[in-house]
């Protein structure tokens, strides 16, 4: 059963704190430490930041390679539509950071078309610390099979979404940030035949 230590909070309260770039909701220190831990020793990476907001994480990512940043605040485009454009352009990245102002679910499964071998960083609100309306409950149920999924269900479903495009995902780091989880996933493209243990037949 989910840990319900944190009381439910209204979305408008969270969004007001996000707008003021409050560390209470952005948790930049913990995120920066995780990036350094996971990417240590890497260089010349192609990095995509969606919902980069005030670019709290960008200087750290720049230590590891070239960074593309998209966010409405920066007037560089809506991340929800930009990623489809990048897929159409057949772009590929070594690192993708999804840090939306809510759940990242609408990016699944197609976000995996932008990465073949690398890392996906996700910021995932805990459903049970928000006051969920009927629309959000239905949204979460569509993606995870229940409107209050625990972290193991979320990770299992993300793994399934990766395999929709033959990307295997493994958790390399997970931080509990109170109202959020910060998840780092290793992503690797796999051959369908090898993953499923079958051989293609010639007719």
pLDDT number for residue 199: 85
CA-CA-CA-CA torsion for 10, 13, 18, 20, nearest 10 degrees?
A: 180
Span 82-122, pLDDT tens digits: 999 999 999 999 999 999 988 999 999 999 999 999 999 99
Residue 14 confidence (pLDDT) above 80: no
- Identify the residue with better confidence: 101 or 171: 171
Q: What is the distance between the alpha carbons of residues 118 and 42, in angstroms, rounded to a whole number?
A: 11
Q: Does domain 21-193 have CATH number 1.10.760.10?
A: no
**CB contact burial 17-55 (16+ within 10 A = b; e otherwise):** ebeeeeeebbbeeebeebbeebbeeeeebbbbbbbbbee
Structure confidence at residue 200 as a pLDDT band (50, 70, 90): confident
- Measured from the Cβ of residue 57, the count of other Cβ atoms closer than 10 Å reads 23
pTM for the full model? 0.85
Cis (ω within 30 of 0) for the bond into 109? yes
Residue 78 confidence (pLDDT) above 80: yes
In sequence order, which residues have a C-beta less than 8 Å from that of residue 65 and are 6 or more positions away? Answer: 42, 43, 44, 45, 46, 47, 94, 95
Average pLDDT taken over every residue of the chain: 89
Q: Write out the two tokens for 112.
A: 């995996």
Average pLDDT over residues 58-84: 94
34-43, 69-78, 189-198: least confident range: 69-78
Residue 7 confidence (pLDDT) above 70: no
Beta-bridge mates of residue 67: 47
pLDDT number for residue 2: 44
pLDDT number for residue 1: 39
């Amino acid at each position: 059963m989910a840990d319900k230590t944190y009381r439910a909070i209204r979305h408008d309260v969270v969004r007001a704190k996000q707008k003021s770039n409050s560390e209470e909701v952005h948790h930049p220190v913990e995120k920066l430490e995780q990036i350094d831990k996971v990417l240590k020793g890497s260089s010349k990476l192609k990095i995509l930041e969606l919902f980069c907001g005030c670019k709290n994480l960008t200087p750290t990512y720049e230590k590891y390679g070239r960074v593309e940043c998209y966010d409405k605040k920066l007037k560089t485009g809506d991340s929800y539509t930009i990623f489809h454009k990048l897929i159409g352009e057949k772009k590929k990245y070594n690192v993708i950071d999804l840090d939306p102002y809510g759940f990242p679910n609408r990016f699944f499964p197609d976000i995996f078309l932008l990465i073949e071998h690398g890392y996906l960083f996700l910021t995932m609100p805990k459903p049970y610390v928000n006051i969920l309306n009927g629309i959000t409950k239905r949204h979460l149920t569509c993606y995870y099979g229940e409107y209050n999924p625990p972290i193991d269900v979320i990770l299992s479903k993300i793994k399934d979404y990766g395999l929709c495009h033959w990307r295997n995902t493994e958790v390399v780091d997970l931080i509990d940030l109170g109202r959020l989880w910060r998840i780092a996933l290793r992503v690797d493209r796999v051959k369908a035949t090898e993953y499923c243990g079958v051989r293609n037949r010639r007719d």
